[in-house]
Chain A
């Protein structure tokens, strides 16, 4: 997007921010999701509340950009510093509206892998779940952010760290996972995928300047395309200015 006044990462952050509704209880992840939460708070969702798995609950965003959720700046001014079980309990009760996750791999049914990667045919050990499996199992909506390429968007993940819709068609219910939970969007560097009633992902929007063929060629399964395919709405003026105020040197959105 050489002519656009924003970067691809900035577009992803804004797309992620729009998945947060005003008043939502949000399980915020690291890096881009943390940034997306700040943008949402400062634009359309001023009453959204952030939860972090170490036990932190914030009703106002931290004053500075954070490297980890445990940075002292994320604790000063927090509404509550509790225990991990406090926030995990809210999650299991079904009170958490949306959680954000990254992944090494996501598949056709939104299952995520952050445990075992594969590079040049060799298995590679990745850090593991952290809280990702818990969020994927229990949050009402899960939003995934990742780079779009064939090795990452694959037919079937190597290892199900964090379940999406499994093999589709009522799989979550059959496993005993809570009603009304599961992945709602996969935001990639090329577009946004959503999920049909059977739990299979489809292409819901492409980013400005991206062709459908490019998306299909970079997806590891035959991806369905929405009849009413949209173009991802670019960042608005206010969204861009909030992002650049928070991150003037584009540390998070190179």
Chain B
């Protein structure tokens, strides 16, 4: 393990590790722990031609697409988990606004297998899912083949190696060793599949705390390029044990982004005119933040690692 701290600001992490043209994994934990703060910084720094990778993407993909940062999406679902459709995604696919995007449709399972293959270091993994579907017909990374060990048709899911995975954690040490709990989705494979990992953490803790509960260490620090200490970095999505889901925010986003001009106002108000997460939280307001805080703690029973 390097003894050098990987702590840096969000601006620095995005500037150093996510250039235009990158393939970026976001939203690996599905509806929880979506790295909105990181996505907003990608928008502020004017990234272009990103390929977004993720299983289901909630409205973060929609925002990046609407801001013109994206040329390709590889995902199983792009929408608003509260409201269904996402308008920027629709405008880009249907009318090329603000720019055309290429969509490579996966299912959740094939996305998980693509990342797992990369995490295992093999070119593909076999599955039965998508047989007979139009996903199989249209997605060139899903190929039918005959099993070499049985009389069966299978689908080979090509491994997918993102340039960067941006993953949210509850707590991490300054070297990037991170504890995650709650919704895991494809995050563990995502970290191993990617060439680089940026960890966005709610808290920075001492390495001895991480080592006290090694089963919970889902991201080993040697894979991590940057650690960003960014409390509330996942708002409006939830982080188990830290804050709840801001359901109203998703509904408001849906209402306020229906037309292009409305989205542009939204983008200015919540991202472009907001320099960082601290200011974003001020904008959100104390009352709203208070309502999202944990009301009833539910601590796990300690596990004894003694011998």
Instruction: Please list the residues of chain A having a beta carbon within 8 angstroms of any beta carbon in chain B.
Output: 30, 53-56, 67-72, 75-77, 81-85, 88, 91-92, 115, 122-134, 136-138, 159-163, 166, 171-172, 175-178
Contact = CB atoms under 8 A, between A and B. Distances in A.
Contacts of B56: 130
29 contacts: A54-B32, A55-B183, A70-B30, A70-B183, A83-B184, A83-B187, A84-B184, A84-B185, A84-B186, A91-B109, A115-B134, A124-B94, A125-B103, A128-B76, A129-B105, A130-B107, A133-B109, A133-B133, A136-B133, A137-B128, A137-B130, A161-B135, A171-B132, A175-B131, A175-B132, A176-B131, A176-B132, A176-B152, A178-B128
A69 B77 CA distance: 15
A172 B84 CA distance: 29
Nearest to B29: A54
A138 B128 contact: yes
B106 interface: yes
Contacts of A54: 29-32, 183-185
Q: Which interface residue of B81, B89, B186 has the most chain A CB atoms within 10 A?
A: B81
Given A68-B82, A92-B128, A129 B189 contact: no
Given A72-B244, A133-B135, A175-B132, A127 B298 contact: no
B238 A72 contact: yes
B240 interface: yes
A53 B30 contact: yes
A83 B131 contact: no
Contacts, number: 178
B181 A81 contact: yes
Contact of B107 (A67, A123, A131): A131
A104 to B, nearest CB: 10
B79 interface: yes
A70 B244 CA distance: 10
Interface residues of B, number: 58
A181 to B, nearest CB: 9
Q: Which interface residue of B31, B79, B134 has the most chain A CB atoms within 10 A?
A: B134
A163 to B, nearest CB: 4
Contacts of A177: 128, 131-132
A117 to B, nearest CB: 9
B31 A68 contact: yes
A177 B81 CA distance: 29
Nearest to B186: A84
Contacts of B187: 83
A160 B240 CA distance: 36
A144 B110 CA distance: 22
B127 A92 contact: yes
Nearest to B127: A92
A16 B129 CA distance: 24
Interface string B165-188: 000000000000000011111111
Given A54-B30, A67-B245, A88 B186 contact: no
B271 interface: no
Interface string B37-61: 0000000000000000001100000
A106 B65 CA distance: 29
Contacts of A83: 112, 184-189
Contacts of B260: none
B193 interface: no
B32 A124 contact: no
B76 A129 contact: yes
A160 B139 CA distance: 13
Nearest to B296: A76
Contacts of B18: none
A130 B110 CA distance: 10
A140 B105 CA distance: 24
Contacts of A162: 133
Interface in B77-133: 77-79, 81-82, 84-86, 89-90, 93-94, 103, 105-110, 112-113, 116, 127-133
Nearest to B111: A84
A126 B128 contact: no
Interface string B229-254: 00000000110100011010000000
A129 B106 contact: yes
Interface string B183-212: 111111100000000000000000000000
B134 A161 contact: yes
A115 B90 contact: no
A88 B133 contact: no
Contacts of A166: 132
Nearest first, the 9 A-B pairs at minimum CB distance are A70-B31, A127-B79, A176-B153, A175-B132, A130-B77, A163-B132, A133-B107, A134-B109, A131-B108
